[in-house]
Structure 1
Amino acid sequence: MSLRIYTRTGDQGTTGLFGGGRVDKHHPRVEAYGDVDELNAALGLARSIEMMPRIDEVLVPVQRDLFAIGALLATPDRDKMQQQLEKARIDEGRIAQLERAIDDGEAELEPLKSFIVPGGTPKAAALHVARTVCRRAERRVVALARDIEIPALAVQYLNRLSDLLFVLARVANRRAGAGEVTW
């Protein structure tokens, strides 16, 4: 017997949280993990365009991390939230890995002298879209953290990730031989 994708439990505008409880679908917690889910989908789209092994290899673990962050945000119980963070191995070491990936990407690039207009190749453009979704998710998580205790590492991770996505978009353009349009 297979499980059905529909449960009908959300037909009245509420959704269930990990560990129990229901909230409105427009609850700030749902908005936050929904934006993280959208970011994950945007990264999947970016990975599907013009395969670039070193870029895509960085993004797959990020997508796994985002599932964990989404689960963390959907978990109202503080202890279970901490378990989600530990299970995902999102810690200072993981933040440092993102920073190393940023540094590695920047080593391939000319230093920034002005703002970059998002675009270029389809791969780079998709990474720029993912970057903006990441910034929105970060804003939602920060807003949620004003009312609900959220581990600071979730915000730090999203902040670093948006920087990484900016660098990866620039790297994708450079590797494809596409110039950058400056503002």
Structure 2
Amino acid sequence: MVVLNKIYTRGGDAGDTALGNGDRVAKNAARVSAYGTSDELNAFVGVARLQAPEDTDAALARIQNDLFDLGADLCRPDMDRDAEAEYPPLRMVQSQVDRLETEIDAMNAGLSPLRSFVLPGGSALAAHLHVCRTVARRAERLAVELAAAEPVNPIAVKYLNRLSDWFFVAARAANDGGAGDVLWVPGANR
């Protein structure tokens, strides 16, 4: 149970922060950048939800919850000591990735195949979902960078990879099933 009754603690005034296991690290540490970017993504998802119809809004609400799970996973560096922890850390699991894949397949079934790259835009919702896609890709890059230096749950990285795909397909669906996609025309302005 999380209890937040005092928002500022002054604990980070010197430029460090506490991880989920209590260790203190610099606020610009790779781990903090990775879970901080997943939090940024969560905020963009919240903006996208303002434009979303009911079914997409429900899917985005699930994703927002998953992103908090992801942040909880990434803020715990001691994966090898999970079994010893007083409170078992929350880790991303394969079923979260599987759900995204199922939803991608369902959305993609109604879309015509692409014959060009898609430019971000079209409807307001699609534009917001493309922003989410690019921030998800950045979060993935940061998680991969972190994983090169420290242990990271591989499912967390896989989730971010699939999530950016989800946002891409959802953006196409939001563009009138792809009919409103803005297609790239190579060299159009030469």
TM over 0.5: yes
- Are residues 1:148 and 2:154 paired? no
Alpha-carbon offset, residue 75 of structure 1:
1.1
Moved over 3 A (4+): 80-83
Q: How does 1:1-183 map to 2 (within 5 A)?
A: 3-49=5-51, 51-78=52-79, 79=82, 83-85=89-91, 90-174=92-176, 179-183=180-184
Q: Percent identity over the alignment?
A: 49
Q: How many residues align?
A: 176
When normalised by structure 2's length, the TM-score is 0.87
Alpha-carbon offset, residue 127 of structure 1:
0.4
Give the secondary-structure state (helix, strand or coil) at the position aligned to 1:111. Answer: coil
Seen in structure 2, the aligned counterparts of structure 1 residues 160 and 143 have a Cα distance that, compared at 3 Å, is same
Structure possessing the higher radius of gyration over alpha carbons: 2
Q: Aligned partner of 1:58: which letter?
A: A
Asked if 1 retains the 8 angstrom alpha-carbon contact of 2:72 and 2:89, the reply is no
Q: Aligned partner of 2:90: which letter?
A: Q
Q: Per-residue displacement from partner, 1:82-126 (whole Å, max 9, x unpaired)?
A: 7311xxxx3222212111111111112111111001001111100
Q: Which runs of 5+ in 2 are unaligned?
A: 185-190
When normalised by structure 1's length, the TM-score is 0.90
Give the secondary-structure state (helix, strand or coil) at the position aligned to 1:84. Answer: coil
CA RMSD of aligned residues (A): 1.8
Alpha-carbon offset, residue 166 of structure 1:
0.3
- Identify the structure with the greater helix proportion: 1
Q: Which runs of 5+ in 1 are unaligned?
A: none
